[in-house]
Amino acid sequence: MADTKYIFVTGGVSSSLGKGIIAASLAKLLQARGFKTTIQKLDPYINVDPGTLNPYEHGECYVTDDGAETDLDLGHYERFLNVNTSQANNVTTGRIYQSVIEKERRGEFLGKTVQVVPHITNEIKERIQILGQNDEYDIVITEIGGTVGDIESLPYIEAVRQLKWELGDDNALVIHLTLVPYLSAAGELKTKPTQHSVKTLMESGIKADILVCRTEHELSDDIRRKLAIFCNVRQEAVIQSIDAPTIYDVPNMMLKEGLDTVTLKKLALPDDSTPNLERWNQFLKRHKNPKAEVHIGLIGKYVELQDSYKSILESFIHAGAENEVYVNVEYIHSEFINDSTIHNKISHLDGVLVAPGFGERGIEGKIDAVRYARENGLPFLGICLGMQMAVIEFARNVLQLKGANSTEMDGKTKHPVIDLMEEQKEVTHKGGTMRLGAWDCKLQEGSIIHGVYETDLIQERHRHRYEYNNKYKEQLENAGMLSTGINPETGLVEVIELKDHPWFVGVQYHPEYRSTVANPHPLFVSFVRAAHEHAEKVKNAKMAQN
């Protein structure tokens, strides 16, 4: 197919309605019909990327193979489509303005006054069309962050208006996601907020082609008719998006509502196939019908906001379905773990995951949790900072290196078992200066990790600045903490595991960024299996006592 088609997803009434999930679900349906589809996210904030944002406000920062620090919605795109995203799939206002200002400084606009229109809007249009340039994709779905009417979103909305006009009727469409709230006092759903939202969009010169209405109650035909008339869309283009038990139900719900059919019709694309969702539905069946349950403690310091660990939680869903077990994740704030609370918080668990993070807050609680898992044979997975905590705990309590630490937490530690690489020591900027993106890792034969991947060389995504200090490698290995994954270029340790423990693995990389519905990450699958085996062992021991 020669011309790439473009779909724009905007949001109104309220934020957090799930534009990313709707975009990913539509992309899944189009992909399941054989169309090559990708999704990008345009974010209206002025940060160049989400790497420097607070996880409490923004959720996790997702990292792509090419080292882009991106919005967590890109994680949904990859998990749904099983296709890698890149730098081009996430664009922020910061990046747009940075690029335009650099062009101005280079003299590319000599004699011109640089303005929002046309210069900023042209840059946005360029970024939107990058993914469609090589005929690699039949359809590009672009999600516009924020809510229509926000000051920050205006240049994006204007760029979409221009693009829609330039591309022509059959080549672009706008899906507007809104809220239809239920007023319990009146006992009815209200359409007025949606009407106002569509009106705001029209004031910017954009007519919504499809309305997706987030709702807690079924939309009646009367309400659909009312929305169609007042919002200037056809009735079949009023799509209901009711609350779902899991985000993985949404593609099937959108299929039932006919979102893909309406989309194809409006883009003048053939609608002569049915989406092949066989693998997807097999996953859903396993996910919804587990044969057992495991309790895994997620030890972190941003646990108040689950989006801070979004990819980890989704990886547990994928790995749980693969093992046909329900993974009950218990959030444990590392600041509240100490000698007097640890038994209460951890002894009933089947496994412990110590999560990634930055800074010294809550560190000692993480170290205590590692110690408990190590001494009690509890399956343990440490990711990034979690792996570093395992090294510090082992150095302190097994090697008896008093005050062993990371120089991130204690710049004056006598035993910097975790330290900055030489090339990081001169870095003063925080944004985009870590070890980022996909790096090779060579695995040691006969190790737990080699058994997990069943291969010698793997590639995983990184996002960190501090590293395992190789000066302590010999001491650590002699005492039983093995380095079983090494970066072949730098010689840096990527994986540690314990010799005499049922399942204890720490990884410097982020396996959660690679887990998808179609390919659950083997490390999570193996960890969940180990937790299940532990649970069975404990259960059998209790039965034997009785």
Residue 1 pLDDT level (bands cut at 50, 70, 90):
very low
The backbone torsions φ and ψ at residue 64, rounded to the nearest 5 degrees and listed phi first, read -95, 170
**Pure H helices in 204-305:** 221-231, 250-257, 259-266, 278-288
Which has more pLDDT, 545 or 434? 545
From residue 313, give the alpha-carbon distance in Å to each of 51, 77, 263, 296, 393: 20, 15, 31, 11, 25
Q: Which tens digits make up the pLDDT trace of 338-396? A: 888 888 889 899 999 998 887 777 778 899 999 999 999 999 999 999 999 999 999 99
Answer yes or no: is 388 a known binding residue. Answer: yes
User: For residue 360, what are its two tokens?
Assistant: 């010294």
The backbone torsions φ and ψ at residue 58, rounded to the nearest 5 degrees and listed phi first, read -115, -10
Residue 228 pLDDT level (bands cut at 50, 70, 90):
very high
Answer yes or no: is 143 a known binding residue. Answer: yes
pLDDT at 531 over 80: yes
Alpha carbon 537 to its chain's center: 33
C-alpha span between 22 and 20 (Å, rounded): 6
Q: What pLDDT sits at residue 146?
A: 87
Residue 76 pLDDT level (bands cut at 50, 70, 90):
confident
Residues serving a catalytic function are: 384, 510, 512
pLDDT at 55 over 60: no
pLDDT at 207 over 70: yes
Q: Which tens digits make up the pLDDT trace of 127-163? A: 999 888 878 899 999 999 888 988 999 999 999 999 9
Residue 434 pLDDT level (bands cut at 50, 70, 90):
low
Residue 320 pLDDT level (bands cut at 50, 70, 90):
very high
pLDDT at 307 over 80: no
Tell which phi-psi region holds residue 362, choosing left (phi > 0), alpha (psi between -120 and 50) or beta.
Answer: left
Mean pLDDT of 464-472: 86
Q: What pLDDT sits at residue 30?
A: 96
Find, among 357, 417, 420, 424, the residue nearest to 385 by Cα. 357
User: For residue 499, what are its two tokens?
Assistant: 């010799």
| Order of all β-strands in the sheet with 139-144 | 90-92, 37-43, 139-144, 5-11, 172-179, 210-215, 238-242
User: Is the separation of the CB atoms in 41 and 73 below 8 Å?
Assistant: yes
Residue 18 pLDDT level (bands cut at 50, 70, 90):
confident
pLDDT at 501 over 50: yes
Mean pLDDT of 19-41: 93
User: For residue 39, what are its two tokens?
Assistant: 């999704």
Q: What is the mean pLDDT of the chain?
A: 89
pLDDT at 57 over 90: no
From residue 161, give the alpha-carbon distance in Å to each of 7, 124, 211, 410, 432: 12, 12, 17, 52, 32
Of these ranges, 84-98, 293-307, 334-348, 516-530, the one predicted with the greatest mean pLDDT is 516-530
Helix, strand, or coil here: 173? Answer: strand
Share of the chain above pLDDT 70, in %: 95
Q: What pLDDT sits at residue 53?
A: 66
Span of 250-264, 360-374, 431-445, 485-499 with lowest mean pLDDT: 431-445
Which amino acid is it at 521? H
Answer yes or no: is 497 a known binding residue. Answer: no
Answer yes or no: is 387 a known binding residue. Answer: yes
Which has more pLDDT, 431 or 58? 58
Answer yes or no: is 228 a known binding residue. Answer: no
Q: What is the DSSP string of 150-167?
A: -TTTHHHHHHHHHHHHHH
C-alpha span between 6 and 26 (Å, rounded): 13
Answer yes or no: is 402 a known binding residue. Answer: no
User: For residue 36, what are its two tokens?
Assistant: 């090559």
User: For residue 412, what are its two tokens?
Assistant: 């004056």
Instruction: Give me Rg for the CA atoms of the chain.
Output: 25
Answer yes or no: is 150 a known binding residue. Answer: yes
Q: What pLDDT sits at residue 432?
A: 47
Answer yes or no: is 457 a known binding residue. Answer: no
Other CB atoms closer than 10 Å to residue 88's CB: what's the count?
Answer: 16
**Pure H helices in 2-131:** 19-32, 55-58, 73-81, 93-106, 121-130
Residue 431 pLDDT level (bands cut at 50, 70, 90):
very low
The backbone torsions φ and ψ at residue 432, rounded to the nearest 5 degrees and listed phi first, read 60, 25
